[in-house]
Structure 1
């Protein structure tokens, strides 16, 4: 990929995991955006936790569009906005907080638990995603939950609500930079295309990784 293409205006999907981010990534692919490597981003979780954004900014220079960790995490969007003043941001949301919580816990249960209940701390420690213990470290970094209740519903729902509210408050004075969408709403696909200045290729979102 040539240098000029890597340095076009950036697009960041900053919705939390399990808000349709993979579907949005599919839309990016349809429009031939170069995509950041998700694994490379996820492995920068410790940099994010230390609020050291140098490696994250460096990663942003490798492609045009990005989604999921660490771009979906608190604080990151404000740093990206300062470093890439022409960037656009997409906040993906679910119908309601309970729907997001159920989707997240169901997904993590299939990955690391018993397929029914949210994973325990011990199951997270034993999970081998990127490396053994990664899932545990991320849970501890992101959620202020008790060790014996790592998926406490009230705390996680508050995390989801706070993230969405903080994003919208941050962009309150520059609404042209932020689009809030729900991929389950048919017309939001056209709104996303307009936001990206692209001609729609479908009637609605091309679903990817749909779980619940």
Structure 2
């Protein structure tokens, strides 16, 4: 049996990444997501850690995957990339509401500042810049990138043809990430 292509969710957090992960699991993919890494040296350790995890899973979502899309595209030719997006104003409101003044090494690495509260312009510039850079990177290979607006209703009808999968007979999952995190508190399983 031929191994599945890898699928990298490269949308920033708060763009329905948990819904994407749930959908991919429903299609039979082995998914890993954010692993609660709070290592201050994340900028140095993310690539080797990500490459090791990438050998064990089929699909990936949330951090650090969006930041590494160029490296992953080079290292895993033929992979598929899903950029989940939502309107910038909705995105920043959600990020501030969810993370507030909390800083983490991962967010410091991504945005150059840790906490979104008080740094909204910096966060927005990075979010918009990332989405533009991803589209530009795949401009000559549109078959490798799917842009999804899950919060606006995109679902199986876009995802399944892109992945070469049959559309399942179930509604597309719309998961409240905060509720999932609360129910899985303390889990160290990298498949969460």
TM-score, normalisation: structure 1: 0.74
Using the alignment, how far apart are the partners of 1:82 and 1:51 within structure 2?
18
Q: Is the 8 A contact 2:96 2:117 kept in 1?
A: no
Aligned position for 1:19 = 15
> Which one of the candidate residues 127, 134, 147 is aligned to 1:180?
147
Aligned position for 2:186 = none
- Which protein, 1 or 2, shows the higher relative CO under an 8 Å CA cutoff with sep ≥ 6? 2
> Which one of the candidate residues 111, 129, 144 is aligned to 1:143?
111
* Displacement of 1:166: 0.5
* Displacement of 1:202: 4.9
Using the alignment, how far apart are the partners of 1:81 and 1:46 within structure 2?
26
Aligned position for 1:8 = 4
Moved over 6 A (4+): none
Q: Is the 8 A contact 2:5 2:78 kept in 1?
A: yes
What secondary structure does 1:79 align onto?
helix
Q: Are residues 103 and 87 of structure 1, via their aligned partners in 2, closer, same or farther at CA, if it must alter by over 3 Å?
A: same
* Displacement of 1:53: 1.9
> Which one of the candidate residues 77, 101, 105 is aligned to 2:92?
101
> Which one of the candidate residues 156, 173, 176 is aligned to 1:206?
173
Gaps of 5+ in 2: 179-192
Please report the RMSD computed on the Cα atoms of aligned residues, expressed in angstroms.
2.6
Gaps of 5+ in 1: 109-117, 125-134
TM-score, normalisation: structure 2: 0.81
Q: How many residue pairs end up in the alignment? A: 178
